[in-house]
Amino acid sequence: MGYEWGRFVWWLGQGQNAAAMQALCAVATVVITLVLACITWRYVVLTSRMSEVSERQLVAQFLPAVRIDLTATISSGEVRFDITNDGSRSV
């Protein structure tokens, strides 16, 4: 086993295939880097979407949806304010 390993190491590093092996390793490094960059980009997009959904859930859960209707009655000189909560939680 040691003899075969020694031949393999010689074939990789010191033989006639050293330049070819360096070129293959360089190409493999570029391919692996591109794959990792694509995976990272997908995680960035997913995290951004999760953040948006979380923010919408927070707003829907804790902030009331308040509607204010202003009506003015000219004849009696009074102004009437109607404040209504259209949300699911009470104010």
| pLDDT of res. 7 | 78
Q: Structural domain tally of the chain? A: 1
Write down the residue that tokens 């979407």 correspond to. 49
Is 51 contained in some domain? yes
Burial annotation 46-59 (CB, 10 A radius, 16+ → b, else e): eeeeeeeeeeeeee
Is 90 contained in some domain? no
Kindly report the pTM of this predicted structure: 0.53
Q: Which amino acid is at 34?
A: L
| pLDDT of res. 39 | 98
| pLDDT of res. 28 | 95
Is 68 contained in some domain? yes
| pLDDT of res. 19 | 80
Over the chain (91 residues), the average pLDDT of each successive run of 10 is 76 72 91 98 97 89 71 63 65 51
Is 71 contained in some domain? yes
| pLDDT of res. 47 | 97
Report the length, in residues, of the chain: 91
- Print the domain residue range for 55: 2-85
Distance CA 27, CA 19 (A): 12
Distance CA 21, CA 57 (A): 53
Is 66 contained in some domain? yes
Is 91 contained in some domain? no
